[in-house]
Amino acid sequence: MTTIDDFSFKNKKALIRVDFNVPLDDEFNVTDSNRIEAARPTIIKILEDGGSAILMSHLGRPKGNRNPELSLSHICSKVSEVLGVQVKFVDDCIGNKVEEAVKKLKTGEVLLLENLRFYSEEEKGDVAFAEQLARLGDIYVNDAFGTAHRAHASTTIVAQFFAGRKCFGYLLAKEIKAIEKVMKTGEKPVTAILGGAKVSSKITIIENILSKIDHLIIGGGMTYTFVKAQGGKVGNSICEDDKMELALSILKKAKELGVQVHLPVDVIAADDFDNNANTKIVAVNQIPDGWQGLDAGPATLDIFRNIIHSSKTILWNGPVGVFEMESFAKGTIEVGNFVAEATENGAFSLVGGGDSVAAVKQFGFEDKVSYVSTGGGAMLESLEGKSLPGIAAILEG
Ligand code: AMP
């Protein structure tokens, strides 16, 4: 895997695809600079080598229109602050004006380009547009995991103009290594904790990881399709009747592969999908009509704790309850605690994909797990076993 450590950037202009798709408030201030901070080590290494950096990113979904609200000019001062360098800005990402700005760029300087998605060619993966971007740099660096599953001009197509002169930034390399550590080289026992609302959105992941894991913990809304498929009563709990066959086939396949599946045994049931609903603890397969399971129960958490604590490699995707409501957040918080404790005892833990990342951040576990992925869709596709175009484009050499 070629990373920026394989190049000296002395007197080189690095064209870096970063993911600066950050949230802005009404006054266009950056409200969460995590993604900018995450790209910092890559940019600093290039500057310290004696190179200069040209940063390209998208922001929001302008869909090919020059929407001033989505201009990257809004984030220029925040990028300057994070990098400790006065970042220059050019209000376009291709063309003469940009090429002039790049020509003037000196060693140690950083230039931020305008939102790539002001051109519809970006998302279309247009080759001519990618070629115009390619003119701007000597070496192409991809450090945007969040868009690595898209074959866009700046994430994938542009790489074809940099044969032998392209590499992964530190952030993207870290993501790739974290996924490999779980999917390929993980120390046993390997445990996957899969939660979230629906079986249908996780099925490809389950099918792909079954042969790589020892334990599968299933939680959240997915639970009830498995429980009903086995003859349990799930009341009004979320359930995909058309996926019951699939649930049974997953259980069968897991058995064949020697994977131990751990489903909840008890749940916090509520008489409404509401934080203030009445609640009671019931067996997972005895949920009365009019009640729905919204969080893992105490006996379930005891089981989950034992499995997680005895694991050496842990993948966590999806909350085990409706964590957005305080009354049903306990299970997800506890799972976060168990993963943090296992990590402290030497396990490798990767949290990735959508809502579990939000939960980990919300409940303050971010620094207590080994790695929190920066890419939702890209992480899900990696776990599904798909080759990501942005990664393949660099590996092709
Ligand atoms: P996903 O995006 O598939 O990871 O699903 C995350 C969503 O699943 C969160 O918004 C949770 O509130 C929801 N969820 C988790 N457990 C349940 C449950 N028992 N019933 C309904 N929704 C749930």
What pLDDT shows up at residue 372? 92
What pLDDT shows up at residue 356? 84
How far apart are the CA of 327 and the centre of ligand 1, in A?
Answer: 14
Edge-first strand listing for the sheet containing 13-17: 88-90, 110-113, 52-56, 13-17, 139-142, 166-168
Domains 4-173 and 186-383 share a fold: yes
Instruction: Give the span between the Cα atoms of 325 and 330, in whole angstroms.
Output: 10
User: Ligand 1 pocket: which of 224, 243, 335, 355 to mutate (most atoms <8 Å of CB)?
Assistant: 355
Q: What is the pLDDT of residues 172-212, one digit of tens each?
A: 999 999 999 999 999 999 999 999 999 888 999 999 999 99
What pLDDT shows up at residue 361? 87
pTM of the model: 0.90
Task: For the chain, report the end-to-end CA distance as a whole number of angstroms.
Answer: 10
In residues, how long is the chain? 397
What pLDDT shows up at residue 135? 98
Edge-first strand listing for the sheet containing 371-372: 260-262, 215-218, 190-194, 313-317, 348-351, 371-372
**pLDDT beneath 50, residues of the chain:** none
Query: Cis before residue 68, ω within 30 degrees of 0?
Result: no
What pLDDT shows up at residue 397? 79
112, 89 in Cβ contact below 8 A? yes
What pLDDT shows up at residue 20? 97
What pLDDT shows up at residue 358? 85
What pLDDT shows up at residue 150? 95
Q: What is the pLDDT of residues 117-127, one digit of tens each?
A: 999 999 999 99
The hierarchical CATH code for the domain 4-173 is 3.40.50.1260
What pLDDT shows up at residue 219? 97
In the block, residue with structure tokens 């203030």: 276
What pLDDT shows up at residue 256? 97
What pLDDT shows up at residue 355? 82
**Ligand 1 pocket list (CB less than 6 A):** 195-198, 201, 220-221, 238, 293-294, 318-319, 321-322, 324, 354-355
CATH of 186-383, one of 3.40.50.2300, 3.40.50.1260, 3.30.70.920, 3.30.1310.10: 3.40.50.1260
Domain ranges in the chain?
A: 4-173, 186-383
Q: Is 164 considered catalytic here?
A: no
Q: Is 377 considered catalytic here?
A: yes
